[in-house]
Chains A and B, each alone.
Chain A
Amino acid sequence: MDKANAPHKLNFDTSWEYAEAPESTDHIEIKKQYGLFIAGEFVPPKKGKYFDTINPATEKVLAKVAQSDASDIDRAVKAARHAYDTHWSKMKAAERGKYIYRIARIIQERAREFAVIESLDGGKPIRESRDVDIPLAAAHFFYSAGWADKIDYAFPCRTPAPLGVAGQIIPWNFPLLMAAWKIAPALACGNTVVLKPAETTPLTALKLAEVIQDAGLPPGVVNIVTGDGATGAAIVDHGDIDKIAFTGSTDVGRVIQKALAGTEKKYTLELGGKAANIIFADAAIDQAVEGIVNAIFFNQGHVCCAGSRLLVQESVAEEVIAKLKDRMQTLIVGDPLDKNTDIGAINSAAQLERINAYLDLGKKEGAAMYQTNSKTPDKGYWCRPTLFTDVAQSHRVVREEIFGPVLAIQTFRTLDEAVTKANNTQYGLSGGVWTDKGAKIFKVGSKIRAGVIWANTFNKFDPTSPFGGYKESGVGREGGMHGLSAYLKLQ
C-alpha cells in the first residue's frame, strides 16, 4: 500500500496516563448475612445453610447468603400462590401497575448504591453498572408498569389472563437487570413470582427485595430465594408453578426443557449465543472497530448476545485487525469500581478457568492468539482482551460459547459467504452488520437467523425492544409487547 493511500492510524501512543478514579463505597449497605425473601420477610433457610458471595476483583467475602433447598422453595411457592389467590390476581390492574411504578422509582433513587453493589458482587465496570444495568433495570419496571391495565390492547380478539406463579432463574452476567426483565412483565401481567438469582451474584436481587418491601407490595407477590443449581432444579420441578423463565446456558436450558416435558408449565428460555459481527468493506471502519470492541468486550464478554465471531471482508481485514489491536491496547483492565476501567473482573474463578481452557484449546487447535499486554491486578480473576485469528469454522473457539473477552476472527469475500458463515452455528441469538449501504443491511439482516440484529451498532438494549433467540438460543421473547405473551394465557 503506498503512503498516500495508507489508512489513517489512530495514535494511542501517548505518555498520558489515567489517574485512578475509584467510586466510593461508603454509601452502600451490605448486611453480613441474608436470609430468603419469602412472603415479604427475610427468613432463615430451613436447614440453616449459608454460602459466601465474594468480590471477584479482590476474592474477599462480601456477605453470606442462604442456601435454599426444596422445602424452602415450597414455602416460597406457597407464599406466591397465596399472594396470587388473595391479592394480586384480584387487584385492579391499574393498582398493580402503580406498585410496579413504585419499584422503578425507588431503584432510580437508589441507583448509585445498586451500581456499586453490582460491580462489587459481579466484577463489572462501574461505568457499565451505572450507565447500563441499573438505569435499564429501572426502565424495565417503568415500562412494564404501564402495561398492567393495557394488556388487552396487545392481543387483538383474545382475552389475556395471568398464568399464576412464575418460577424465574437468572444468570450472573446482568444480575439486577435480568431480575427486572423477569419480574416486571410477570407482575404487570398479574402473576406472582419466585426468583432465584445466580449463585455468584445474589446481592442486588436481595437489595431489590428491600425495594419491594419499601414499595409496599403485598407479601408473597415477589419471593427471592438464593442457592445453587439444585435450588434452580427445585423451582423447575415444583408442582405448583405455572411458568418457568430461565436465562442461562443452552446446556442447562435443554435440561430444563426436558424436565418440563409432559407438564402443563409454560416456559421461556434465553440461552447461549455465538453471534457473528459482519464488517463489510464499505463500512465506516473506525466506527466498526468501536463496534467490535463493544460487541465482544462489553461486560468482559459475559454476554449471551456478544459478537464473539468477527466476520470481516477480506479486502479490509488487515486494516480492521490492525486498528482493532491498537484500540484493544488502550482498554484498561482492572478495578471494576474505577470509572476508567473498561474491562472488569471475570465473574468467578470457575468462569476464568473455563475461559483459560478455551485459550489453551484455541492454541492447540492451531489458531493464532493475540492478547494485549495490559496490566492486571495480582488478586482477583482477570482476562486480558483476546483475539484468535487463523481459525477454521470447525475450531471449537469458533463454534462454542466462551462467555469471556475472546474474539474469533474469520474473513469472507462475498455477502453470501458471510451469511453462510454467520448462520453456521446452532445458535441464533444476535448478529451484527456494518455497512454504509442500507439495501445491504436489509438483505443481510433478513438472512441472518437470529432474534436481534444490530446494524451499525451492537449490544443495545431497551425495555420496549423484544429480545430472544432462534434455534438453540432459546424459546420466546422478553421485553416489548412481544414479551408479554410469555406471562399470559390467551383465551
Chain B
Amino acid sequence: MEKTIKAEARAADTGSTPAPSAAAKPKAAKASKPASGARLGIEKTYKLYIGGKFPRTESGRYFTVEDAKGDVVANMCRGSRKDFREAVVAARGALNGWSAASAYLRSQILYRIAEMLEGRAEQYVLELQQMGATKRAAAKEVTEAIDCLVYYAGWADKYQQIFSSVNPVASSHFNFSILEPVGVVSLLASKEKALLGFVADLAPIIAGGNTVVALASEANPLPAISFAEALHSSDVPAGAVNILSGYRSELTEHFASHMDVNAIVVSGGDVKERKVIQELAANNIKRVIVRKKLGVYDPYQILDLQETKTTWHPIGG
C-alpha cells in the first residue's frame, strides 16, 4: 500500500456495516466552484454494471467515498441483495455464450480489454491518485493491470492443453479429460490495489469461460467501477461480467449463499468472514476459492475455477 487511504481505513472489508450515509456529505456539497467565466466541470456518476448496462442500485441507497483529504469524491451505489440477484440472472444468461466462445475469441477479447485500458490509462492513474496513491505508484498499478490482462489473454487458449489429458484406460475405450468453466462465479474483490487487485481476481475467472458478479473494493470502488467502461467497449458479452459497489459486510452473505452461483472467489478478508462464507456456500456445494496473496498470476488460478469433464467412448467397429 503506497499510502493510507482514508476511505480504506474507515471501511475495512470485513468490518461492520457502516451506518447509512445520512451523516456523510453528499457529493454536490464539495463540487468546486469555477472562477467566474470558467467552464463548470462535468463530474462522473458511478453506477453499477449489470447485464451490459449501467443501472443505479434499485435500493436507491448510496455511500460516499472520500479522498485522502477527507473530501467526498463520489456517491457510490450501495448495491443491494436485489441488485446482486439481478446480476446473477444476467451472468447465468451470459454463461452459455461466453463459455462456448472459442478460446481464440476469449483470448482476443481479454487482449481487447487490455487495449481499452491502455488507451484510458491516464484516467485510471488520476482516479488512483485522487484516492491517495502517488503518481508513480498509480501509473505502475495501471500498467501492471494492463499486463495482467495480456498475460491471461495469452492463457485463454493454452490452459486447456496444459491441464487436460488423454487417459490410458485398460479397457477398449477412448477416454479424455478436458476442462470446462465451473459456471457463474461471485467475486469479493481484493481491497488492496483497487484496480490491479480487481483485474487480477477477475481475469482468470473470465479467461476460463466463467461469468461473474463482482463486488468492487468497498474502500475504493472507483477504479473497478470505471473498469466496467473498458469492459463495455471490449466485446465482452453483456452479462459476462457484472460489477457492483456496496458494503462487503452487507453483501457477503448473498454472494456466498445464492443457489445459482457455482463458485465464490474471496479475495482478502479474515477467518471469521471466511467461515461464514464457507458455511453458506455448503448449501449448494459451492466451490470456495480463497485468494490470500495479491500478485500471484498463473494458470492454476484459472484451473481453480474449472471442472474436469471425462468422456468415454468404446473403440470398435
Contact with A257, one of B170, B175, B281, B312 (Cβ below 8 angstroms): B281
> From residue A32, how far is it (CB to closest CB) to chain B in Å?
38
Interface residues of B in 269-317 (CB under 8 A from A): 271-272, 274-279, 281-285, 287, 298, 300, 307-314
Q: Given known contacts A253-B285, A474-B285, A490-B300, is B165 in contact with A453 (CB within 8 Å)?
A: no
Number of interface residues of B (CB under 8 A): 38
> From residue A383, how far is it (CB to closest CB) to chain B in Å?
28
Q: Given known contacts A257-B285, A471-B284, is B308 in contact with A262 (CB within 8 Å)?
A: no
Are A453 and B308 interface neighbours, CB within 8 A?
A: no
Interchain CA distance A254-B171 in the complex, whole Å: 34
Are A269 and B285 interface neighbours, CB within 8 A?
A: yes
Please tell me if A261 contacts chain B, counting CB pairs below 8 Å.
yes
Are B177 and A462 interface neighbours, CB within 8 A?
A: no
Interchain CA distance A468-B180 in the complex, whole Å: 13
Interchain CA distance A343-B230 in the complex, whole Å: 61
Please tell me if B82 contacts chain A, counting CB pairs below 8 Å.
no
Residues in chain A near residue B168, CB distance under 8 A: 464
Please tell me if B167 contacts chain A, counting CB pairs below 8 Å.
yes
Please tell me if A467 contacts chain B, counting CB pairs below 8 Å.
yes
Are A477 and B308 interface neighbours, CB within 8 A?
A: yes
Are A271 and B300 interface neighbours, CB within 8 A?
A: no
Are B287 and A475 interface neighbours, CB within 8 A?
A: yes
Are B310 and A441 interface neighbours, CB within 8 A?
A: no
Please tell me if A6 contacts chain B, counting CB pairs below 8 Å.
no
Residues in chain B near residue A452, CB distance under 8 A: 309-312
> From residue B185, how far is it (CB to closest CB) to chain A in Å?
14
Are A465 and B275 interface neighbours, CB within 8 A?
A: no
User: Majority SS of interface residues in chain B?
Assistant: mixed
Are B282 and A465 interface neighbours, CB within 8 A?
A: no
Interchain CA distance A474-B271 in the complex, whole Å: 24
When A and B form their complex, what is the total count of cross-chain residue pairs whose Cβ atoms lie within 8 Å?
114
Residues in chain A near residue B183, CB distance under 8 A: 449, 470
Are B177 and A466 interface neighbours, CB within 8 A?
A: yes
> From residue B265, how far is it (CB to closest CB) to chain A in Å?
15
Interchain CA distance A242-B292 in the complex, whole Å: 19
> From residue B7, how far is it (CB to closest CB) to chain A in Å?
29
Interface residues of A in 59-107 (CB under 8 A from B): none
Are B165 and A480 interface neighbours, CB within 8 A?
A: yes
Residues in chain B near residue A454, CB distance under 8 A: 311-312
Interchain CA distance A442-B175 in the complex, whole Å: 13
Interchain CA distance A94-B279 in the complex, whole Å: 40
Interchain CA distance A71-B24 in the complex, whole Å: 57
Interchain CA distance A262-B175 in the complex, whole Å: 37
Please tell me if A373 contacts chain B, counting CB pairs below 8 Å.
no
Contact with B278, one of A262, A451, A474 (Cβ below 8 angstroms): A262
> From residue B303, how far is it (CB to closest CB) to chain A in Å?
9
Q: Interface centre among B275, B276, B279, B313, by most A CB within 10 Å?
A: B313
Interchain CA distance A250-B283 in the complex, whole Å: 10
Residues in chain B near residue A439, CB distance under 8 A: none
Are A457 and B177 interface neighbours, CB within 8 A?
A: no
Are B170 and A453 interface neighbours, CB within 8 A?
A: no
Interchain CA distance A116-B19 in the complex, whole Å: 68
Are A260 and B278 interface neighbours, CB within 8 A?
A: yes
Interface residues of B in 227-262 (CB under 8 A from A): 262
Are B311 and A457 interface neighbours, CB within 8 A?
A: no
Please tell me if A157 contacts chain B, counting CB pairs below 8 Å.
yes
Residues in chain B near residue A471, CB distance under 8 A: 262, 284-285
Are B308 and A464 interface neighbours, CB within 8 A?
A: no
Are B169 and A261 interface neighbours, CB within 8 A?
A: no
Are A450 and B309 interface neighbours, CB within 8 A?
A: yes
Are A156 and B310 interface neighbours, CB within 8 A?
A: no
Please tell me if A445 contacts chain B, counting CB pairs below 8 Å.
yes
Cβ proximity bits A241-263 to B, threshold 8 Å, 1 near / 0 not: 00000000010011101101110
Are A460 and B285 interface neighbours, CB within 8 A?
A: no
Interchain CA distance A258-B285 in the complex, whole Å: 9
Residues in chain B near residue A441, CB distance under 8 A: 313
Are A453 and B162 interface neighbours, CB within 8 A?
A: no
Closest to B163 in A: A482
Interchain CA distance A459-B202 in the complex, whole Å: 37
Interchain CA distance A472-B171 in the complex, whole Å: 29
Interchain CA distance A260-B288 in the complex, whole Å: 12
Closest to A482 in B: B308
Are B279 and A466 interface neighbours, CB within 8 A?
A: no
Residues in chain A near residue B285, CB distance under 8 A: 250, 253-254, 257, 269, 271, 471-475
Interface residues of A in 260-281 (CB under 8 A from B): 260-262, 269, 271
Please tell me if B69 contacts chain A, counting CB pairs below 8 Å.
no
Interchain CA distance A470-B272 in the complex, whole Å: 27
Closest to A426 in B: B284
Are A466 and B312 interface neighbours, CB within 8 A?
A: no
Please tell me if B30 contacts chain A, counting CB pairs below 8 Å.
no
Are A466 and B314 interface neighbours, CB within 8 A?
A: no
Interface residues of B in 155-184 (CB under 8 A from A): 162, 165, 167-171, 173, 175, 177, 180, 182-183
Closest to B99 in A: A446
A-B contact pairs, 12 of them (CB 8 A): A258-B278, A261-B278, A269-B285, A446-B180, A451-B310, A462-B169, A464-B169, A466-B165, A466-B308, A470-B309, A473-B285, A475-B287
Q: Which 6 A-B residue pairs are closest in the complex by CB-CB distance? A: A262-B275, A261-B278, A257-B282, A462-B169, A261-B279, A464-B167
